């Protein structure tokens, strides 16, 4: 079993990952600015933030995998990319880093354009999407000694469309996963299944991949 730390562990993606990892017997630490009143039984909750990387690194001693689920929203706009880069540089060399990005960096077709560059991509979400893409670019340019994975959820992923746990999903590689109607969706619980599957059985060493139904 792995020792997994989830940064942003009380948010939508993070809380689902914490629950899924605990259910499979992993040792899980949820890191967030505040400890929630409702907690996943079996998880450890600590206060921490990407805005204070030195303290965060000290709290994460001994973990095997660190998964960042923090989006560039609110006061985190402009602060996620540089702090994830600092955290990645400061963690012990054997720690694997996982990042939950956005759908914006997914390609619309193999070898095609990015979703964020399409005319229909909502303008107000572009800064968040571009910062998430920047995190991916930093990981790709980083040292080969750091193992990492980066996940683009489907377009219809979020607290507004929670869905159920089916235990299934599709891996689209670099391309946005869509169904036969062209819709792109994955529930929070099934995104978590994909994350923990990758931790348990790594198939994407130093790679990004998309997930959806």
113: CATH: 3.40.50.720
Q: Name the nearest CA neighbour of 45 among 75, 15, 83, 13.
A: 15
pLDDT per residue, tens digit, the chain (213 aa), is 999 999 999 999 999 999 999 999 999 999 999 999 889 999 999 999 999 999 999 999 999 999 999 999 988 999 999 999 999 999 999 999 999 999 999 999 999 999 999 999 999 999 999 999 999 999 999 999 999 999 999 999 999 989 999 999 999 999 999 999 999 999 999 999 999 999 999 999 999 999 999
DSSP letter for 160, please: T
- Side-chain-side CA neighbours of residue 116 (13 Å): 18
Residues 60-87 have pLDDT tens digits of 999 999 999 999 998 899 999 999 999 9
Domain that holds residue 109: 3-212
DSSP letter for 156, please: B
Total domain count for the chain? 1
Measured in whole angstroms, the distance separating CA 189 from the mean position of its chain's CA atoms is 13
Measured in whole angstroms, the distance separating CA 212 from the mean position of its chain's CA atoms is 14
């Amino acid at each position: 079993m792995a020792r997994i730390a989830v940064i942003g562990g009380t948010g939508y993606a993070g809380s689902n990952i914490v629950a899924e990892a605990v259910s499979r017997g992993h040792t899980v630490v949820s890191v967030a600015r505040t400890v929630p009143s409702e907690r996943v039984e079996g998880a450890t909750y600590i206060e921490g933030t990407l805005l204070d990387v030195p303290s965060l690194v000290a709290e994460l001693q001994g973990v095997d995998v660190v998964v960042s689920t923090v989006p560039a929203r609110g006061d985190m706009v402009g602060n996620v990319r540089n702090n994830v880069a600092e955290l990645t540089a400061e963690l012990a060399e054997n720690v694997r880093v996982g990042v939950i990005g956005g759908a914006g960096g997914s390609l619309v077709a193999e070898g095609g354009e990015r979703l964020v560059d399409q005319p229909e991509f909502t303008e107000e979400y572009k800064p968040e999407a571009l910062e998430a893409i920047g995190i991916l670019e930093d990981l790709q340019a980083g040292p080969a000694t750091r193992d990492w994975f980066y996940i683009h959820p489907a377009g219809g992923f979020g607290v507004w469309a929670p869905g159920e746990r089916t235990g299934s999903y599709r891996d689209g590689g670099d391309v946005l996963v869509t169904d036969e109607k062209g819709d792109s969706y994955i529930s929070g619980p099934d995104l978590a299944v994909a994350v923990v599957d990758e931790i348990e059985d790594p198939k994407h060493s130093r790679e990004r991949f998309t997930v959806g139904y």
